[in-house]
Amino acid sequence: MDFLSILRSCITGMVPVTLVTFSGAYLAKKDIFNKEANELISKSCARFFFVVQSFATIPKSVKLSSLVELWPIPVITFLIIIIGLILSFLSLYFLKPPTHFKFTTLSILVFTNGGNIPFLIMKGICASYGPLAGDDKCDEYPGYIALVIFVCSILIWSICIAFIKADEQETRKIEELASLTENKSAESSLKDLMIRGMFSPVPISCILSLILALIPGFDWLFVHKTSPLYSIFDSLFVVAYVGVVVSQMIIGSNLYMMEKADYGISKFYIISTTLMKNVIYPCFWLLLTLLLWNLGCYGNNKVMAYIIYIAQATPVASTVLMQCQLVSSGVKDCTVILLWQYITAPITLTVFTYLFFIII
């Protein structure tokens, strides 16, 4: 397997993400993006753009007739996230995060950018110079990625945001004790926070879009280019793409604004978290992928196996930072960790992609 071709694929895939991120930093430097703008964009993504994205991608990817072939994607993605949660809980004993950042650490370790980065990388992986050039399943990779996003979106907007809200409650409690004021804030249990998250706009839109996709005739009416109402569906996709771009831009904006900020975490913690997220976990997922491949779970579909794997080997999801912004908790600490994960990602993604195509 040509290492330089894989390097080219990964770097090419990371360039658009990098340019969009730097655009956000430039707008922050010009004082066009600021804290208030970032908060408004985060709310608009959570309540509108990501909802539209669900309706624009899932119906195009899922059909009733294809469920038998596609079942490994949601099942294995869900399995990996659950295993990741268990490993992350155990890793807290080693990382020893600050009390107010404990659950956010779990979110950073478990939830990945399993949509944008795999989609961009796959363009190079399936290109004429890529390792999957000529694979007849390459045309189906957008649908595979959409199913990964489906599972991750439901879990990240129910579990992840509950974790961040739990840390926000802990931070508020510490501040009230320090100021010797009476605790008048209503607190919710982690279970209640998760249940509340499951009924937020993004998980509900994911479920509804899946139901629509399984209705006979829906794809004929909306999804195909020859469909009578395709213009509506195509417009939804354009709006959803705007959400992807602006959500990535506020990462750059936050990075610029936090450049000289004081962080509440140590350099050891930043390095350890980055090493665990970008190196240790991908090694574990690679061994798991090899096991599942040998058990026949992927049905000899290397495109599917790679997408499920690389989706979990990417850095922390930008949605985690967005949720920190929404809850007003851990924004500075999450930003600096995210920065170092994305700086090292081109190297680690290239190495692990190379290893994947050697052993699978």
Cβ-contact 240, 52 below 8 angstroms:
yes
> Tokens 């990535």 sit at which residue?
248
Encoding tokens for residue 20? 């969009």
Q: What is the mean pLDDT of the chain?
A: 85
pLDDT over threshold 60, residue 183? no
Encoding tokens for residue 233? 């569906």
Phi then psi for residue 112, to 5 deg, are -120, 170
**Spatial distance between the Cα atoms of 110 and 120, rounded to a whole number of angstroms:** 21
Name all domains of the chain by residue range, CATH numbers in brackets: 3-174+188-359 (1.20.1530.20)
Percent of the chain scoring above 70 in pLDDT: 92
Tell me the average pLDDT across 14-34.
84
Please tell me the pTM assigned to this model: 0.85
**Spatial distance between the Cα atoms of 252 and 246, rounded to a whole number of angstroms:** 10
| Chain segment 237-261, per-residue pLDDT in tens | 888 888 878 888 888 888 788 765 6
Name the band, by pLDDT with cuts 50, 70 and 90, for residue 178. Answer: low
Q: Which of 293, 319, 252, 195 is nearest to 18 (CA)?
A: 252
If one counts every other C-beta atom within 10 angstroms of the C-beta of residue 310, the result is 27
Cβ-contact 41, 246 below 8 angstroms:
yes
Helices (H), 258-330: 267-275, 281-294, 302-313, 318-327
Name the band, by pLDDT with cuts 50, 70 and 90, for residue 84. Answer: very high
102: Cβ–Cβ under 8 A, 6 or more apart, which residues?
Answer: 92, 167, 170
> Hey, what's the torsion of the CAs at 346, 349, 136, 116, to 10 degrees?
-60
| Chain segment 265-295, per-residue pLDDT in tens | 888 888 999 999 999 999 999 999 999 999 9
Which amino acid, 289? T
Specify the pLDDT at position 316. 82
Cβ-contact 281, 345 below 8 angstroms:
no
138: Cβ–Cβ under 8 A, 6 or more apart, which residues?
Answer: 122, 126, 132, 303
Choose the weakest-confidence range: 55-59, 177-181, 346-350. 177-181
